[in-house]
Every structure is written in structure tokens, then in C-alpha cells.
Chains A and B, each alone.
Chain A
Amino acid sequence: MNFLFYVISGISLGSIYAIIALGYTMVYGIAKMLNFAHGDVIMVGAYISFCATSYWGMSPFMSVIVSMLVCTVLGVVIERLAYRPLRQATSLAVLITAIGVSYLLENLALLIWTSNPKVFTSIVGTGSVKLFGGQMSITTVTLVTIAVCVAIMIGLTLFTSKTKMGKAMRAVSEDKGAAQLMGINVDTTISVTFAIGSGLAAVAGVLLCSAYPTLTPMTGFMPGIKAFTAAVFGGIGSVPGAMIGGILLGIIEIFGKAYISTQLSDAIVFAVLIIVLLVKPTGLLGKPINEKV
């Protein structure tokens, strides 16, 4: 029974990682950059939702919508101001800029909301579902998280395979130059990618803080790194890879905490990542890189 409980909590935590990892992996697939500020967009999303419910008296559902809107705009603005001028620059220069943006967001949050942790009220209440005649109780947040993750997964798959913009995104990620020649506006496509990624980050932030209610300006940091790891784990650039990577990472983390050691759970997660990468150097679903001589 405990085993099943751990699996479900693992999938739930993994779903959050997966949603964040989607943002990393989509941006990497299209712009070939590691967007380190993504973790901080999560934090901003959670704060906006917190403010919307606590100070502006909005309903939880509305607060999520507002926070998604704010994060979408934020993602597009960041891309426009900080990353677009560096389109031709080396990947390291872009990486450092992303780190700069990450600092900027953290310190802005520190100024606006101070370092005192805010207690986030779960947007779906604190109820729980009893299963197997009350032997196992699963919080509503856990179930909602999994459901939202599945919905996002289906939505995103449909979006990338059916819509015009989705096809443009795939084309740009495959070959930027050729896509441009076919009349695809690369800049717009990249902006849309950032918009979607940041909007999803807001959802992830709200879900994360519903499950783990302390909210500080550093909240997004560790989940950001873990989700990045998940994206690499599944094969960076691959959308289903991010999903699988995220969920596996969540399960490994919960199992590590439950069966081995709480203190070492992060070390276990990263050790598994290293082993996977040594066996499959481009991640679980990553495309093998052909070396051209």
C-alpha cells in the first residue's frame, strides 16, 4: 500500500517537474539555449497567484489565469529584451545573460515581496480522497496536478502536430534557415515558444506551491534545476522526453526519500541522471548526434 502511495506522490511531483521541463525543452529545441531564468518565472507565477487570491480577492481559478497571463507577457518581454539581441552570439554568452535575468527576477521578487516566506493557500483546497476503505489518503492537489499534467500533455501534442504555429515551431527547431526560407517568421515563433513555456511555468508554480506551501523568492531555484535535469534526462529538445523524464525524476526522488534517505534524495536523483546519460548520452528519447567529419 505504501508503495502505491509513493508511486502516486512520485507521479504528482514528477508532473510538476514535467510541466516545468516542457518550458526548458521547447525553448532549447527552438532557440538552442538553456533558459536558466525559467525557474524564476515559476516563482513569479506563484507570487502573482498568491497576490491575486490574498490581496485582490480573486477566485483561485481566476488567479491562475491572471498568473498565466502575467508570466506569458514576462516570458515574451524577457525574450525580446535580453535574448533576441543575442541571437547570433555564442551559447555561453546567452547562458550568462539567462543567469543575469534569473538574478534580476529573484532580486525584483526580493524587493517586492521581501524574503519572508509567504504561506501559499492551495488553490484546490486541502481535501483528500480516501481509497481502499480509508487505508490510503491522497490529497486533492496530488490528483489535480496529475490531471493538469495529462491535459497539458495532450493539448501540447495536439498543438504541435495540428496547428499551423505548432508546425512552424517544429520546422524552426529542425532547421532555422530552411524554415525562414519557407516563409516562417522565426522571431514570432520563438516568441510564441517563450510565451507557452512561461505560461506553463505559471501553472507549474501554482501547483508546486499548492503542494509545498512555502513561497520565497528562491522557490523556483531547485525545482528549476530538477526540471532542467528532467529535460536532459528525457532528451533535451523532445517534448515527450520532458514528460517521461519529469515523471521518472519525481518517482525516483520520492522513492529515494522514502526508502533510502531524505538527506540524500537529491544526490540519488542526480546519480541516476548521470548513469542514464552514460548509457544513453543524449537522454532517453533524445536524437543521437551524428558527428560529421
Chain B
Amino acid sequence: MKKERLSSAPKKPMTKSARDTVTCYGIVIVAYIVISILLNGGHVNSSMKGLLIPICAYIVMALSLNLTVGILGELSLGHAGFMSVGAFSGVVAAMSLKGAIASTPLLLAVSMLIAAGCAAIAGFLVGIPVLRLNGDYLAIVTLAFGEIIKNLINCLYVGHDADGLHFAFLKTSDALGLADGGKVIINGPMGVSGIPKLSTFTAGFILILITLFIILNLVHSRQGRAIMAIRDNRIAAESVGINVTQYKLMAFVTSAALAGASGALYAMNFTTVVSSKFNFFTSIIVLVYVVLGGLGNMWGTIISATLLTLLPELLRKFGDYRMLIYALVLIIVMVVSNNANFKAFFTRLFSKEKSADVPSADADTKGGAANE
């Protein structure tokens, strides 16, 4: 299979990876244009409108998790922890810099950068111990870190006054010792309230594009190939001189930083945010997007994140039964998509379409290899 892959690359006018890249950007840009037109025409109802920014945030989350799960090949069950770090640091940044930066888009961008930076630091700190483990043990430790981050933020108090930021831990907001005119930003278990609504749909769209740009460039670079080599066979990769820890950490930290940025986007769409929002459930839901979209498949992730975020809304007419149907859809999709008969059926369907424009059959074998 390796030989085929090498020989097929120069023959084709457009490689599979290039096609995927174009598909990714294409989907996002077309979707943005269509939705913008619909928004301007007033064809989007308010509940859908409210979902636009969360969808963008979840797409970014899912893309960043796909970097860890699909490209690096390590199962992470605590991705929401990084989203949480990003959300809270982003909000603190936005609320304390509000006076200093007048322009809203600039303030949002700066907060997102700070959020990404803080999440990257968290990712680095978590990554050093975590990446020494393998498989299910790594998964459970990421879960544990996610819960720890949630717990710690739950006990954190941050305030802002003329002297700058004040921090307190495990006490009450009085312990911050704020001067007159100071303001409590993070109020322990109460979370943050009165967040300025800085996030816009366009900002979400730009963040998705930046995320895609970072991830796709990383994947197609020398570093990305090293990361995928580690995923496919760690020992073999090590034996050809790839520094496993360094590349694992690179993927993990990038993923955490992007999750942090998405957290900031998400938080600044609401007026209040509490740390329990970013719990194990959120991590799992994002993992579901990634697995349904296809491991390592970015455009699939975008579509599955969008559809699955919309699904509960679309099922609203079923009332109380909607989450039940959501769960059933999830199980049925998993069972059907892993059924040997259905797989064979789709492969046949797929190869018929393929034979029309691509004479060689190697596109399918490559697709199969990527899905494994």
C-alpha cells in the first residue's frame, strides 16, 4: 500500500489531500455566504440564530480534538477542560481590557489570543505527564484533568480594579481585597456574569478558517507527517529518529490552544458562564462529532459538528422525546456504519461514482487506509 501511495502522487493532477483541503475551505466559505444571505433576508428564526456561534465554537472544538484523536491517535476525554480554561481566561481578558481597547473586534481578537495562550499553557502542563501513557490509561488521565480543571475553576475568584487583577482561591470574593470601583469577574461556583457579548458569527467564521489553516498546514507539513508516523507505529517512528514526546506535545498543545480560542468565542456569546458547563459531557459530545465525522477527516468533522448541534433543535417538534431520538440516532448510525454489509454496499456505490472520473481504484484503498 505504501508503494501505491508514493507512485500515485505524481500521476494525479490533484492529490487527495489537496482535494480535502479545498473541500474544507469550500464548505466553510459557502456555508458562511449562504447563511449570511439568509440572515440578511431574515429567513433564519431566532433559535437558529442563537445557535450560529455555538456551532462555530463546537466546529473549532471538534477540529482541534480531531487533531488529537485523528491525527495524533490519542483518545482525549477531557477536551472541554481546555475550552474552559480558554473561556474563563478569555472573559477575564475581555472584561479587564475593556477600558484599554475600544474596538470590539480587536478586543475579541486579543481575548481569544490570550485564551489560546492560557489553554496552550494548560495543554503543555497536562501534556507532559499525560503523553507518557498509552491507550485507555491516557484517556482516563485526560478525563481526570478535565474534571480537575473544572473543579479548580469552580474554586477560583478573580477580580479587577485599578491596580490590576486580583486572585483568590477557595475563599470568597471578599478575599480578593478589591479597591473601590473594583469588579469581581470570576465568582467561584457562580462563574462569570455580565460578559460583554463580543462574539459574532463572522468572528466564528474567521476562527474556523484560522483553525483549518493551522491544522491543515500542520498535517501537511514535515511535523504533521512525523505526528502521523507516531500514530501509525510509535516504535517504528522512534527508530527513524522522530522525537515522539516533542511531536506528541506539539499536536496536543496546538489542539489545546485552538480549544481555548473556541472557549472564548463560546463564552462571549452568553452573558453568564459557569465552569460546570465544560464538563465530561461536553468533552464526550465533541468526541462524538469527531468520530462520526471521521478520524482525521476535517470536512467530515465540520459537517457532523454542525448537524449534531442542530439535531436537538431540528427534533424540537418531538418535544420531550428529542434527546431520546438523538441517542437512538447516535446508536443506529454507529451500528449501521460498522455493519459489514452496509460497508460493502457503500464501497460499491462509491467505486461506481469513482470509476466515472478517476480510472484508477487507488483512491478507495487510500480512503480505507485513512479511516482505519
Give Cα A261 to B151, complex, Å: 11
Chain B: CB-nearest residue to A218: B281
- Chain B residues with CB below 8 A from A28, complex form: 136
Comparing B7-15, B198-206, B242-250, B333-341, the segment that makes contact with chain A is B333-341
- Whether A187 is near chain B, meaning CB under 8 Å from some CB there, is no
> Interface digits, B144-186 against A, CB 8 Å rule (1 contact, 0 not)?
1101100110110000000000000010000000000000000
B147 contacts A104, CB within 8 Å?
no
B144 contacts A229, CB within 8 Å?
yes
Chain A: CB-nearest residue to B236: A293
- Whether A97 is near chain B, meaning CB under 8 Å from some CB there, is yes
A100 contacts B170, CB within 8 Å?
no
A86 contacts B338, CB within 8 Å?
yes
A224 → chain B, closest Cβ, in Å? Answer: 10
A270 contacts B145, CB within 8 Å?
yes
Chain A: CB-nearest residue to B146: A270
B321 contacts A111, CB within 8 Å?
yes
- Whether A282 is near chain B, meaning CB under 8 Å from some CB there, is yes
Chain A: CB-nearest residue to B328: A104
Q: What are 9 A-B contacts defined by CB distance under 8 Å? A: A36-B284, A101-B327, A103-B326, A270-B144, A273-B140, A274-B129, A274-B144, A277-B140, A281-B133
Q: Count chain B CB atoms within 10 A of each CB in A96, A261, A273 and give the residue with the most.
A: A96
A96 contacts B338, CB within 8 Å?
no
B168 → chain A, closest Cβ, in Å? Answer: 13
B284 contacts A282, CB within 8 Å?
no
Chain A: CB-nearest residue to B155: A263
Comparing B18-26, B29-37, B286-294, the segment that makes contact with chain A is B286-294
Comparing A58-66, A87-95, A134-142, A173-181, the segment that makes contact with chain B is A87-95
Give Cα A88 to B341, complex, Å: 13
A267 contacts B148, CB within 8 Å?
yes
Give Cα A197 to B109, complex, Å: 50
- Whether B75 is near chain A, meaning CB under 8 Å from some CB there, is yes
Q: Which of B235, B323, B372 contacts A293 (CB 8 A)?
A: B235
B154 contacts A263, CB within 8 Å?
yes
Chain B: CB-nearest residue to A237: B136
Chain B: CB-nearest residue to A96: B291
B148 contacts A85, CB within 8 Å?
no
- Chain B residues with CB below 8 A from A225, complex form: 143, 147, 280
Give Cα A264 to B189, complex, Å: 12
Chain A: CB-nearest residue to B154: A263
- Whether A129 is near chain B, meaning CB under 8 Å from some CB there, is no
Q: Which residues A258-279 have CB closer than 8 A to chain B? A: 261, 263-264, 266-267, 270-271, 273-274, 277-278
A285 → chain B, closest Cβ, in Å? Answer: 14
Give Cα A100 to B333, complex, Å: 10
A267 contacts B147, CB within 8 Å?
yes
B327 contacts A92, CB within 8 Å?
no
B292 contacts A96, CB within 8 Å?
yes
A111 contacts B154, CB within 8 Å?
no
Chain A: CB-nearest residue to B331: A100
Q: A92-B75, A291-B235 are in contact. Are A228 and B140 (CB under 8 A)?
A: yes
- Chain A residues with CB below 8 A from B189, complex form: 263
A96 → chain B, closest Cβ, in Å? Answer: 5
4 tightest CB-CB pairs across the interface, nearest first?
A100-B330, A103-B327, A270-B144, A267-B151
A85 contacts B155, CB within 8 Å?
no
A101 contacts B141, CB within 8 Å?
no
B88 → chain A, closest Cβ, in Å? Answer: 16
- Whether A232 is near chain B, meaning CB under 8 Å from some CB there, is yes
A104 contacts B335, CB within 8 Å?
no
A39 → chain B, closest Cβ, in Å? Answer: 11
Give Cα A216 to B273, complex, Å: 24
A277 contacts B133, CB within 8 Å?
yes
Q: Count chain A CB atoms within 10 A of each CB in B141, B144, B155 and give the residue with the most.
A: B144
A34 contacts B327, CB within 8 Å?
no
Interface contacts beyond A85-B339, A104-B331: sample of 8 additional A-B pairs, CB < 8 Å, sorted by A: A34-B136, A82-B331, A99-B287, A99-B288, A232-B137, A266-B148, A277-B140, A283-B137
B128 → chain A, closest Cβ, in Å? Answer: 10
Give Cα A82 to B332, complex, Å: 8
B84 → chain A, closest Cβ, in Å? Answer: 13
Give Cα A278 to B140, complex, Å: 12
Q: A92-B291, A96-B292, A263-B154 are in contact. Are A101 and B140 (CB under 8 A)?
A: no
A277 contacts B335, CB within 8 Å?
no
B268 → chain A, closest Cβ, in Å? Answer: 26
- Whether B324 is near chain A, meaning CB under 8 Å from some CB there, is yes
A263 contacts B235, CB within 8 Å?
no
Q: Which residues B195-254 have CB closer than 8 A to chain A? A: 235
Q: Count chain A CB atoms within 10 A of each CB in B134, B334, B340 and give the residue with the most.
A: B334
